[in-house]
Amino acid sequence: MTEEAILQGCLKNHAAAQKELYNRYSPKMLAVCYRFAHNREDAEDMLQEGFIKVFLQMHTFQSKGAFEGWIRRIIVHTCINHLKKNKRFNESVDIIQASSVHIREENIPSIVQAKQIVDCIRILPVGYRTVLNLYAIEGYSHKEISEMLDIEESTSRSQYTRARQMLEEILIKRNLIPAAREKTDRLTAIH
């Protein structure tokens, strides 16, 4: 079934087309949810809520952009709303001055599995994780993130900087990226 046929079928509320669309995109979208969520159950709740929105708002989709991107934006916004609703995001937000953090330049080796990276991201506190997901993976700007999360733009930056630093440390600790000397020293100090 072509994407156009799926779209038309979904617009007519045909269950077969809806199922086809769901089968096609739900694995990717669940992975997105999983990066934001506390656990798999929460991720499935987010996915369910997101797909209902997708189907209900199908008529607002304009064929100019990519369909997957449109779905993904809805899913991400659903995840954010879910976190806000459960107050899991606000409780974990703390403000860290970005200027005080040293940024290293690390590369992720290609042999590292996607699941390993996602697992490392999910170890981050929810505030860091959310900003990191939105900025580094979903491609939102800090301004957009600040509006989505109802925080200051500077807060978003600082959250991201700290999140990235913490992620690097986790990756190093798990031997997924090579450890530099200064980083190893800091990790030792932390743990």
Contacts with another protein by CB under 8 A lie at 13, 15, 18-19, 22, 26-28, 30-31, 34-35, 40, 43-44, 47-48, 51-52, 55-56, 103, 105-108, 112-115, 117-118, 121, 135-137, 139, 141-142, 157, 164
The answer to whether 18 and 52 are in contact (CB under 8 A) is: no
Q: Which lies closer to another protein via its Cβ, residue 91 or residue 154?
A: 154
Nearer of residues 24 and 88 to another protein, judged by Cβ: 24
Nearest to 34 by CA among 82, 66, 67: 82
- Residue 55 vs 184, nearer CB to another protein: 55
Q: Minimum distance between the CB of residue 38 and another protein, rounded to whole angstroms?
A: 15
If the CB atoms of residues 136 and 187 are measured against another protein, the closer one turns out to be 136
3-state helix, strand, coil in the chain (%, to 5): 75, 0, 25
Q: What is the DSSP string of 131-165?
A: HHIIIIIS---HHHHHHHHTS-HHHHHHHHHHHHH
